[in-house]
């Protein structure tokens, strides 16, 4: 239960950051990186909330442990992706080499984990 509360809180922070980056993208010159960062944060924040809701209220539709791994993968992946693009925009350098592609890969793996969680759910 604590993990789900943490995920919901993180999703809220991701949503707020996504809206802020969308605003910065709309008002900044050459800020297309921020639009991509915003989209990843907003989309995956919503996915985290959906995973938490399904895991908590639709028992048997999703393997809870794998669903948690997927949701935390969304948090980590979106943070790496958006953090790297935002740092590139404002500081002119990356978070670390290949941070954005690593974040994207983690998000893809998160979606594959969602698929696995649905396939191995207890009947």
HSE-CB for 117 with a 13 A CA cutoff: 24
Of 57 and 59, the structure prediction assigns the larger pLDDT to: 57
User: Which pTM was predicted?
Assistant: 0.93
**What pLDDT shows up at residue 57?**
85
Higher-confidence residue of 30 and 15: namely: 15
What gap in Å lies between CA 56 and CA 62, rounded to an integer?
A: 9
88, 31 contact by CB (below 8 A): no
pLDDT at 30: 86
- Mapped onto helix, strand or coil, the DSSP state of residue 74 is helix
Separation CA 9–CA 3 (nearest Å)? 10
Nearest to 26 by CA among 38, 43, 14: 38
Nearest to 34 by CA among 44, 42, 23, 43: 23
Check residue 56 and give its pLDDT: 85
Report the pLDDT averaged over residues 13-32: 94
- 65/120 Cα distance (integer angstroms): 11
82, 40 Cβ separation under 8 angstroms? yes
Where residue 7 falls (left for φ over 0; alpha for ψ -120 to 50; beta otherwise) is alpha
């Amino acid at each position: 239960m604590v993990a789900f509360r943490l995920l919901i809180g993180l999703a809220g922070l991701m949503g707020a950051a996504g809206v802020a980056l969308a605003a910065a993208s709309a008002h900044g010159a050459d800020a297309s990186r921020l639009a991509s960062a915003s989209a990843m944060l907003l989309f995956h924040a919503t996915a985290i909330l959906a995973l938490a809701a399904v895991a908590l209220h639709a028992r048997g539709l999703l393997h809870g442990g794998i669903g948690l791994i997927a949701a935390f993968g969304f948090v980590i992946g979106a943070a790496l992706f958006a953090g790297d693009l935002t740092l590139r925009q404002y500081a002119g350098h990356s978070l670390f080499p290949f941070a954005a592609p690593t974040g994207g890969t983690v998000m893809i793996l998160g979606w594959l984990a969602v698929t696995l969680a649905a396939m191995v759910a207890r009947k």
